[in-house]
């Protein structure tokens, strides 16, 4: 890790012209996967993330405190959910005047429409529902808005992504912009895209939500990380999701 940082600092001083403004083409993390992992991802029967999709479907049909279920409004398999709208999250929420993530929408529906007590952000249940819902849009193209009222939040997310932090004094962008394609121990650095999330990780053998992945990366920088659902992470999700505009949704992807 120290070597990488030294390398980075060297590269940054040696190559001041290394431009971040070069034209950017989004690439899914799947591009850097081993063939075995890619095959696992593409096979619904081999991809362990589908257990979580199934669990999400069960919860979708389960009755809440007021006797209703998600399916009452959105169809038994979510078939009346508007798939195009699912590709646009996070969206601007006029009520809070802030961005709302897909999981945030699910929490809001659970409380307002089922009368349920609040679930924790990134609780197992919330992740399962999010995985199920996002899987409905698998293959659809991410289309997050970046102008209008969302613009200042996109900028905040970008600033967070580019700010150095932690004992390593590194920014997310150091690894996920400047060193894409380089090896870090056994892993190859990707662009840090979110199109496969929630994602099954072989490393911890469970489906990992977006904010969990953020804190895993911050943890390795020995930086203090945010709580799941915190404004900083919502803005970061907004920025990173919009940076993947044009990529297909691949939930649940498989990663190391
Ligand atoms: C009483 C009806 C009702 C119930 C029950 C309900 N929702 Fe919703 N849901 C809505 C409405 C209305 C919207 C649109 C909100 C908006 O656009 O402001 C919505 C929007 C959504 C969206 C965003 C997609 C879209 O079309 O805007 C998702 C995802 C969603 N709900 C998931 C769920 C889940 C998961 C549950 C169960 C925990 C649930 N909903 C329960 C009424 C309901
Ligand atoms: C020291 C290098 C390093 C830094 C700095 C770093 N990460 Fe990562 N990150 C990794 C590695 C290694 C992986 C796993 C391989 C990959 O997909 O890049 C990863 C994976 C990810 C992924 C998953 C991508 C996918 O397709 O599954 C996301 C999202 C991500 N990082 C976001 C962030 C964010 C946000 C920050 C800043 C808070 C950050 N990372 C900082 C090394 C880093």
| φ, ψ for residue 61, nearest 5 deg | -95, -10
Judged against a pLDDT cut of 50, whether residue 198 lies above it is answered with yes
How many whole angstroms separate alpha carbon 3 and alpha carbon 209?
Answer: 30
| Ligand 1 atom showing the smallest separation from residue 89 Cα | 23
Q: What is the pLDDT of residues 100-152, one digit of tens each?
A: 999 999 999 999 999 999 999 999 999 999 999 999 999 999 999 999 999 99
Judged against a pLDDT cut of 50, whether residue 255 lies above it is answered with yes
226 and 106 in a single domain? The answer is: no
How many whole angstroms separate alpha carbon 15 and alpha carbon 9?
Answer: 10
87 is a domain residue: yes
How many whole angstroms separate alpha carbon 121 and alpha carbon 215?
Answer: 13
How many whole angstroms separate alpha carbon 192 and alpha carbon 195?
Answer: 9
127 and 159 in a single domain? The answer is: no
Per the structure, the complete domain to which residue 172 belongs is given by 2-12+23-42+143-255
- Residue whose CA is closest, atom 29 of ligand 2? 192
96 and 156 in a single domain? The answer is: no
15: pLDDT confidence band, cut at 50, 70 and 90? very low
160 and 241 in a single domain? The answer is: yes
State how many domains the chain has. 2
18 is a domain residue: no
Question: 175 in ligand 2 pocket by Cβ < 6 Å?
Answer: yes
Q: How far, rounded to the nearest angstrom, does the alpha carbon of residue 50 sit from its chain's CA centroid?
A: 17
Q: What is the pLDDT of residue 233?
A: 98
121 and 195 in a single domain? The answer is: no
CATH number for the domain spanning 7: value is: 1.10.760.10
Residues acting as catalytic residues:
217
236 and 122 in a single domain? The answer is: no
* Burial (CB count <10 Å: 0-12, 13-18, 19+), residue 80: exposed
97 and 219 in a single domain? The answer is: no
Write down which residue in 93, 119, 136 finishes a domain.
136
132 and 235 in a single domain? The answer is: no
Question: 209 in ligand 2 pocket by Cβ < 6 Å?
Answer: no
Helix (H, G, I), strand (E, B) or coil at 66: coil
Write down which residue in 136, 151, 167 finishes a domain.
136
Q: What is the pLDDT of residues 33-86, one digit of tens each?
A: 999 999 999 999 999 999 999 999 999 999 999 999 999 999 999 999 999 999
182 and 128 in a single domain? The answer is: no
132 and 198 in a single domain? The answer is: no
Judged against a pLDDT cut of 90, whether residue 22 lies above it is answered with no
Q: What is the pLDDT of residues 218-239, one digit of tens each?
A: 998 888 889 999 999 999 999 9
**233 and 112 in contact (C-beta within 8 Å)?**
no
Which ligand lies nearest to the CA atom of residue 32 in the structure?
Answer: 2
**Does 2 or 190 have the greater pLDDT score?**
190
**For range 23-28, the mean pLDDT:** 93
- Residue whose CA is closest, atom 7 of ligand 2? 217
Judged against a pLDDT cut of 50, whether residue 13 lies above it is answered with no
Question: Which residues line ligand 1 at a C-beta cut-off of 6 Å?
Answer: 60, 68, 70, 72-74, 81-82, 85-86, 105-106, 109-110, 113-114, 129, 133
Q: Which helix (H) or strand (E) holds 111?
A: helix 102-114
Write down which residue in 136, 154, 169 finishes a domain.
136
- Residue whose CA is closest, atom 32 of ligand 2? 192
187 and 208 in a single domain? The answer is: yes
188 and 250 in a single domain? The answer is: yes
């Amino acid at each position: 890790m120290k070597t990488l940082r030294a390398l980075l600092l060297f590269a940054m001083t040696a190559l001041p012209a290394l431009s971040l403004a070069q034209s950017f083409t989004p690439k899914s993390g799947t591009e850097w996967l081993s063939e075995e992992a890619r095959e696992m991802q593409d096979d619904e029967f081999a991809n362990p993330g589908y257990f979580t999709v199934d669990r999400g479907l069960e919860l979708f049909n389960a009755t809440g405190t007021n006797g209703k279920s998600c399916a009452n409004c959105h169809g038994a398999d979510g078939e009346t959910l508007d798939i195009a709208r699912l590709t646009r999250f996070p969206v601007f929420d006029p009520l809070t005047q802030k961005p709302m993530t897909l999981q945030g929408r699910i929490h809001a529906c659970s409380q307002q429409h089922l009368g349920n007590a609040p679930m924790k952000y990134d609780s197992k249940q919330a992740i399962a529902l999010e995985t199920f819902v996002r899987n409905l849009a698998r293959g659809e193209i991410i289309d997050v808005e970046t102008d209008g009222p969302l613009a200042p939040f996109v900028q905040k997310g970008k600033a967070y992504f580019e700010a150095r932090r932690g004992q390593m004094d590194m920014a997310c962008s150091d690894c996920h912009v400047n060193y894409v394609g380089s090896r870090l121990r056994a892993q190859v650095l990707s662009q840090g895209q979110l199109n496969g999330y929630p994602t099954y990780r072989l490393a911890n053998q469970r489906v990992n939500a977006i904010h969990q992945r953020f804190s895993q990366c911050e943890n390795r920088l020995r930086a203090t990380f945010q709580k799941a659902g915190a404004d900083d992470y919502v803005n970061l999700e907004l920025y990173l999701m919009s940076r993947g505009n044009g990529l297909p949704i691949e939930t649940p992807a498989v990663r190391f």
